[in-house]
Copies of this chain bind each other. A is one copy, B any other.
Amino acid sequence: QNVTVDLDRRQRCGFPEVVYGEGKSDDAVAAVFDELLARGEPALATRISAAQAETLLTRLPGARYNPVARTLRRNPAGAEPAGGRGRAAVVSAGSTDLPVAEEARETLNWMGVDVTMVQDVGVAGPHRLPERVAEIVDSDAVVVVAGMEGALPSVVGGYVPCPVIGVPTSVGYGANFQGLSALLSMLNSCASNVTVVNIDAGFKGGYLAGLIATR
């Protein structure tokens, strides 16, 4: 089973292909990383388990694993991307939403976007978000990560003039139905500037924000 890297992706879509690590063999992931390195492209893989990371890190010198985000990255020249390609914020509701928020942050950094992280400002403590609006109000786009009732994007949407990308998480229990509750909340947001990606899709949330910030 040959994995074919979509090599003119940057040409067509502005950024190279990103590896979705779930269920991929080490060989498959390493092959794409090597091919991208050869072309001077920064490589990103998401949904890389700790077990996958352990062996991949020995094979891919210079790669860096974020165990919370479960992302693997390797830069061609070795240094971080220069950054400075626009500004995004990643806002999360509770501390359990952190892995998804981190996946968004890693994606944005890989795209060269500067990121402000604002954590643990869920609606149950409604005084927390207003105190921190100043940090995010000038962003090009805001990624809002929330589980349970998923109300945070609507509230953030009322404070900022830029697009808000809601990322529902599967955090919760019972009638949460693995994130359905937060997903429906965000789709039905009464704030006009809220759009939505898949449950737990931190990568997509970050990527969309990055596309907006780097225009």
CA distance A124 to B94 in the complex (A): 20
Chain B residue with Cβ nearest A23: B96
The listed residue (B22, B154, B176, B181) touching A124 by CB distance below 8 A is: B154
User: What does DSSP make chain A's interface, helix, strand, loop or mixed?
Assistant: loop
Complex: chain B residue closest to A180, CB-CB: B184
Q: Mark A74-109, 1 if CB is under 8 A from B, else 0.
A: 000000000000000000011110100000000000
Residues in chain A within 8 A of chain B (CB atoms): 1-4, 6, 9, 12-15, 18, 22-24, 28, 93-96, 98, 119-120, 122-127, 129-130, 140, 148-151, 154-155, 157-163, 165, 168, 170, 172-201, 203-204, 207-208, 211-212, 215
18 sample A-B contacts, Cβ–Cβ < 8 Å, listed by A number: A3-B95, A6-B125, A22-B96, A24-B96, A123-B123, A123-B151, A123-B155, A123-B190, A126-B130, A174-B178, A174-B198, A175-B183, A175-B187, A175-B199, A181-B187, A183-B187, A192-B203, A195-B195
